[in-house]
């Protein structure tokens, strides 16, 4: 059985990494960094938006900025059918 990650990649999801910069509630001039990584859909990033909505609703550290990197891990050119099975031992 294929993994959840593989199924998501076959549906067009790619690995998304967000570097989230936020201010500390007690020290607003200090900016911290949090790395978030999940499979998400480019260009609208619904999973990242859901996480950032949760952040602004539930956490005290105000968001300062977000940098996003996205990689489509499986592309159609990398998938090919095999015409046979190979057995070793």
Per-position pLDDT tens, the chain of length 89: 889 988 898 898 999 999 999 999 999 889 999 999 999 999 999 999 999 999 999 999 999 999 999 988 766 655 555 555 555 55
Q: Say if residues 70 and 38 touch (Cβ distance below 8 Å).
A: no
pTM here?
0.78
Predicted pLDDT of residue 79:
54
Alpha-carbon gap, residue 4 to 10, rounded angstroms: 10
Match 């200090």 to its residue by tokens.
30
Alpha helices in the chain (DSSP H): 4-10, 46-58
Q: Where are the beta strands (DSSP E) in 1-89?
A: 14-23, 31-40, 63-71
């Amino acid at each position: 059985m294929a993994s959840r990650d593989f199924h998501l990649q076959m549906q067009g999801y790619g690995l998304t990494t967000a570097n989230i910069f936020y201010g500390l509630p007690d020290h607003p001039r200090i900016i911290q960094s949090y790395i978030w990584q999940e499979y998400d859909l480019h260009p609208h990033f619904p999973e990242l938006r859901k996480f950032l909505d949760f952040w602004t609703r539930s956490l005290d550290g105000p968001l300062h900025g977000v940098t996003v990197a996205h990689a489509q891990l499986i592309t159609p050119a990398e998938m090919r059918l095999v015409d046979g099975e190979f057995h070793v031992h």
